[in-house]
Chains A and B, each alone.
Chain A
């Protein structure tokens, strides 16, 4: 461990804002790239399946 206490860890030697802001952005942009395609895929599959069923029942 390079920190003695949790509050020291949070303050990052006075650079806490910069460090935590960076990591928050990193987490956000990574999640966008996973949740986005996941939801798009679910939506697409539901849409295509609906269309196929409609054609089948006609």
Chain B
């Protein structure tokens, strides 16, 4: 894989809050993340961990109540936070594309696929016929069978798997430098999920774009991604290359998360392990480490002081006071 020194995207110390009637909700706190050119990065975390806030911040599609309180988001050297809506509109759909979870809501139900795929090429100074031809070629690349006869159909006439592939084709039309994929396989069965992942990987290699892949599914990260970033309660708690992190996760949350995955448990069991407890209140955060209330290893230091970002053998970033501590003994 080609990697140049300058990353495609680098999020530096990003903090983001929402103004709520109950106070300031600290949705992201000092999040730093880099995506190299042509790299596939898996972003994992439960609902409420800040994955969506981070994605919205990268795309600058944040709701009105959101405010970036510190940090930068550098895309090819340009700070997206300072860019403003017009500058962002130039980038989105051209240099940065998105595939959403539900292809049915991403596609316009009252326009044909051909019309939508021609429309998104509005930046190109070409004839409609040439744009249509490009659309047909792109749909062939995502293996839509019998494209010429299908391109003039409407989204509802396609199966779920095909719709998601059409959405991928549309996102990659402009050969972006960064593709953000928000749980694109959640609605698909296992065979289609794996087919979609293989397709993404192939296209990514051809086009050379980087992918930020947001998912709950650890197996998908293991199969598809070069790196994994794990979020918890608005912080990036661990980040590193997929192989080493899966082999030796350093943050206790990562360790527990992996241990709770039913795919990891060989012996069948009726009682699945769970972390216990819940996410902290992001308006009224605990004093020390944000994971301390649920961490089996938490001590007074953890409860009093916020941990800094450390590096360990397997991970580039571990936000824990004890990145070198032996792995937790996890009893199911």
A in complex with B: no
Taking Cβ atoms with an 8 Å cutoff, the residues of A that contact B are none
Taking Cβ atoms with an 8 Å cutoff, the residues of B that contact A are none
